Amino acid sequence: MSHDTIVILDFGSQYSQLIARRVREAKVYSELVSWTTPAEKVLALNPKGFILSGGPNSVYDAGAPTLPRYVLESGLPVLGICYGMQLLAYNLGGKVAASQKREYGPAGLVVDVPDNALFSDWRLGDWEFGETSNLQSPISNLNQVWMSHGDKVEQLPPGFRPLAHSDNSPLAAAADVGRRYYAVQFHPEVAHTPQGITLLRNFVVEICGCTPDWTPASFIEEQVEVIRAQVGNGRVVLGLSGGVDSAVAAALIHRAIGDQLTCIFVDHGLLRQAEALQVVDTFEREQGMHLIAVHAIEEYLEALAGITDPEQKRKIIGEKFVRIFEREAQKLGQIDFLAQGTIYPDVIESAGKDKKDAHVIKTHHNVGGLPEDMDFELVEPLRLLFKDEVRQLGVALGLPESLVWRQPFPGPGLAIRCLGEITWERLERLRLADAIFVEELRQVDMLKWGTQQSFAVLLPVKSVGVMGDGRTYQDVIALRAVTTDDFMTADWARLPHDLLARVSRRIVNEVPGVNRVVYDITSKPPGTIEWE
């Protein structure tokens, strides 16, 4: 079953992946590719339109990304966003110049041509914007858009007409309807542009003519064919952590190739409380998969002894993970493929090798930390999906809700939440504190609806306390809870004070060696969701 495809050309924007996510929310399949990707590879996708992402450059910068010739030569519809708008205008004979006033953050959009297809069903709202406007609550305003630019289009190319403006951008949106070229200076893909999904849906469905039929069920059908074609009669091993990503990957691959898949669960001692038993019970007994459980706690603790650097931890855990796989595979006979639950945020933050301008934030054990001499070819059926799409897929595959809605857990496990040296005593201390936090959140139904990721962190510092009549000098636990739509950006969760007080009291009273609890109120950016 084939679907209409929208190709998104990435020019380095931090929001590029969000464009893909929004297009898929409109039930249209999209692929994100670098602007440097060869034309034949892009055109082989048979796109029905192009979206040009934003980016940090000026079109006049030396070495700035350029618009590939095939985009305009294709005759297909094009939507330029921010830098993409400037690039489109520059290449078609318009004029781009530096703004006297840079525009970052919320802005009010006035739609001057509401009957244009790009703004179909765009609710105009009751606000009037201008120098005298008093925008007291911009986030609730239907006509708010999110700006992030220094340069802007000063003169439109021949054939274009303006569609909308903001206080600082007289040409906030424009179009050449005859050639089906559209451009916006703002970012419709971010949550701070409330009606952005309407605009993107208009472009991909109404202007490009895509059929909105890309759903979890259709993805399953397509991936089953892809997996079978890749694997053939080969045998596959998959590292089953018990998290959502590896679980959904296992279920999808198992549907495609059945007993050709062997799941290997490595109990490295870095899991949450009682999780090892839950993993074995769920997948072996309930799901009927071929599962091998490997006890490797002592092996990991020995390898991590004395290591405090987070990147070293990740690489040690990643390499040992693969070596154990190789060891177990030899016992099984010929194994041809290694399957992983890699998803988009993993790829993004690991700065994949095909994205040369990216910066490494951290190395995931299932992306950047793999040893170069590993013996397996990778099977990664979720590599182009965001977390919410993975959950939808899990539901469609019939996995239990308790598993599908389990909060994200990093591949290296508690090793990156246990800051400083890894010892069994410190892991047990962290495990118990984390279990208390999770239990209290579950009691008030905030694990599924109130937060998207919540956990405890054991800090490598001690603090002075008083218990009874005595002075203590013990460990500090930090609590972290965030809300997010896409895990690329996140805000700290405003948990009820009485809940935090209850968690703190229980941890100090029930976890030996802890006398202080703090709550992390850092958003992403500038912080990351995990501490390491």
- According to DSSP, the residues that pair with 514 across neighbouring strands are 475
Q: Which residue type does 228 have?
A: R
> In whole angstroms, what is the distance from residue 166 CA to residue 186 CA?
10
Tokens coding 182: 């559209």
> In whole angstroms, what is the distance from residue 340 CA to residue 441 CA?
29
> In whole angstroms, what is the distance from residue 101 CA to residue 82 CA?
16
Tokens coding 235: 């045998």
Catalytic residue among 103, 149, 189, 263: 189
Which one, of 360, 261, 264, lies nearest residue 315 by Cα?
A: 360
Which one, of 340, 390, 349, 409, lies nearest residue 370 by Cα?
A: 340
Is residue 165 annotated as part of the catalytic site, yes or no? no
Is residue 418 annotated as part of the catalytic site, yes or no? no
Phi first, then psi, for residue 313 (nearest 5°) are: -55, -50
Tokens coding 376: 């397996």
Longest alpha-carbon distance in the chain = 82
Q: Which residue type does 386 have?
A: F
Is residue 187 annotated as part of the catalytic site, yes or no? yes
> In whole angstroms, what is the distance from residue 458 CA to residue 414 CA?
9
Catalytic residue among 3, 187, 364, 365: 187
Phi first, then psi, for residue 364 (nearest 5°) are: -85, 145
Please give the radius of gyration of the chain, using alpha carbons only, rounded to the nearest integer.
Answer: 25
Tokens coding 27: 């039930």
H helix runs in 151-215, sequence order:
196-201
Catalytic residue among 3, 82, 254, 365: 82
The arrangement of strands across the sheet holding 377-379 comes to 291-295, 261-267, 236-239, 337-339, 377-379
DSSP state of 366: T
Confirm if 85 and 153 have CB atoms less than 8 A apart: yes
Confirm if 224 and 171 have CB atoms less than 8 A apart: no
> In whole angstroms, what is the distance from residue 279 CA to residue 265 CA?
8
Which one, of 322, 472, 346, 336, lies nearest residue 408 by Cα?
A: 346
324: enclosing H helix or E strand: helix 310-332
Residue 116: which residues within 8 A CB-CB, separation 6 or more?
Answer: 163, 175, 177
> In whole angstroms, what is the distance from residue 409 CA to residue 55 CA?
31
Query: Which residue numbers are catalytic?
Result: 82, 187, 189
